[in-house]
Structure 1
Amino acid sequence: MTTPPCLDWRPAMLAECLEDKIAVVVIGHNEGERLSRCLRSVWASDWPAEKLDVIYVDSASTDDSCFRARSEGARVFASTQPGAAAARNTGWRVSHAQWIMFLDGDTVLDPHFLRNALKILQKDESCACIWGHRRELAPHQSCYVRVLDLDWCYQSGDTLFCGGDALFRRSALLDAGGYDATIMAGEEPELCYRLRCNGWRIRHINAAMTLHDLAISSFSQYWQRAVRAGYAYAAVSRHTGALWQSEVRHSLRQAGLLLLVPLLSLVLLTWGSAALLPWLALCLLMLRSAWRARWRSQDTVTLLLYGIHSWFEQLPVCCGIWRCWHDQRQRVGQRLINYKRSPS
Structure 2
Amino acid sequence: MVGTLSLLLAILYVSLSLWVWYMVRRPWPRCEQADVPMVSVIIAGRNEMEQLPGCLDSLMQLQYPAEKLEILLVDDASHDGSLALLQAFAEGKQHVTVLALERGVKELSGKAGAVLQAIEKSSGEYIFITDADCRVPSRWIETHLTYFTTEVGMVGGLTLLRRRHGKTSLLDRVQALDWLFLQLISSACAQAGKPLSWMGNNMAFRRSAYDEVGGYRTLNYSLIEDFSLLNAISRKTSWRVVLHTDQAAIVQSRPEKTLKQLYQQRRRWALGILPVRPLGKMLMAVTYCIRMLVWLCAALLYPAGWIALAAIVLGDGLILSSRPVFSARELFRSGLGFELFYFLFVMLMPPALWLDKTIIWKDDVYAY
Structure with more relative contact order (C-alpha pairs < 8 Å, separation 6 or more):
2
1:152 aligns with 2:179: yes
Shift of 1:216: 2.0
What letter corresponds to residue 173 of structure 1 in structure 2?
Answer: Y
Return the letter of the residue paired with 2:255.
A
Residue 175 (1) aligns with residue 212 (2): yes
Matched, 1:104 2:136: no
Q: Aligned letter for 1:90?
A: Q
Preserved contact between residue 58 and residue 76 of structure 1 (Cα < 8 Å): yes
Q: 1:209 aligns with which of 249, 263, 279?
A: 249
Write out aligned runs for 1:1-344 (5 A). Answer: 20-73=37-90, 74-77=96-99, 78=101, 80=106, 81-121=108-148, 124-138=149-163, 141-153=168-180, 154=184, 155=187, 158=191, 160=195, 161-164=197-200, 165-179=202-216, 183-197=221-235, 198-205=237-244, 206-234=246-274, 236-237=275-276, 242=278, 244-246=280-282, 249-250=285-286, 253=289, 256-257=292-293, 260=296, 264-265=299-300, 275=301, 284=310, 287-295=313-321, 296=323, 297=326, 298=328, 299=330, 300-319=332-351, 321-322=353-354, 335-338=358-361
**Mean Cα deviation higher: 63-72 or 75-84:** 75-84
CA distance in 1, matches of 2:351, 2:111: 22
Separation of aligned partners in 2, 1:243 and 1:89: 29
Q: Secondary structure at the match of 2:63?
A: coil
Q: Which one-letter code corresponds to 2:336 in the other structure?
A: L
- Name the counterpart of 2:28: none
Partner AA of 1:338 in structure 2:
W
Displacement of 1:23 after TM fit? 0.8
Number of equivalences: 298
Instruction: Give a deviation string over 1:282-320, Cα, whole Å, max 9, x none.
Output: 754653454334415323122333222232222343245
Superposition TM-score, scaled by structure 2 size: 0.70
After superposing the two structures, state which structure 1 stretch, 214-223 or 167-176, moved more.
214-223
**C-alpha RMSD of the superposition:** 3.2
Q: Report the TM-score, using the length of structure 1 for normalisation.
A: 0.74
**Structure 1, gaps ≥5 residues long:** 1-17, 266-274, 328-334
Q: What is the distance in 2 between the residues matched to 1:290 and 1:182? A: 33
SS of residue in 2 equivalent to 1:103: strand
Q: 1:57 is paired with a residue of what secondary structure?
A: strand
SS state of the match for residue 314, structure 1?
helix
Contact 2:162 2:255 in 1 (8 A): no
Amino acid at match of 1:75: T
State percent identity of aligned pairs: 20
Distance 2:337 2:214 in 1: 41
Kept in 2: contact 1:36–1:72 (CA 8 A): no
Secondary structure, aligned partner of 2:271: helix
Per the TM alignment, residue 321 of structure 1 is displaced from its structure 2 partner at its CA by 3.9
Aligned mates of 2:222, 2:264 — CA distance in 1: 14
Larger CA Rg, structure 1 vs 2: 1
1:231·1:320 contact (CA, 8 Å) conserved in 2? no
Deviates more, 1:277-286 or 1:164-173: 277-286
Q: Does structure 2 retain, via aligned residues, the 8 Å contact 1:43–1:49?
A: no
Alignment-mate amino acid for residue 156 of structure 2: W
Cα 1:294/1:245, change in 2 over 3 Å: closer
Structure 1 residue 227: Cα displacement: 2.0
Structure 2 unaligned runs (5+)? 1-34, 91-95, 364-368
Q: Deviations over 1:179-232 (max 9, x none)?
A: 366533332222222212211111123233243333323222222222222212
CA contact (8 A) 1:134 1:208 kept: no
Partner residue in 2 for 1:4: none
- 1:128–1:200 contact (8 Å) kept in structure 2: yes
Please state whether the residue corresponding to 2:262 is helix, strand or coil. Answer: helix
8 A Cα contact 1:248 1:321, kept in partner: no
Q: Is the 8 A contact 1:147 1:305 kept in 2?
A: yes
Q: Residue 158 of structure 2: SS of its match in structure 1? A: strand
Residues 20, 310 of structure 1: alpha-carbon distance in 2 compared, 3 angstrom cutoff: same
Displacement, 1:169? 0.8
Q: Distance in 1 between matches of 2:361 and 2:297?
A: 31
Match of 2:7 in 1: none
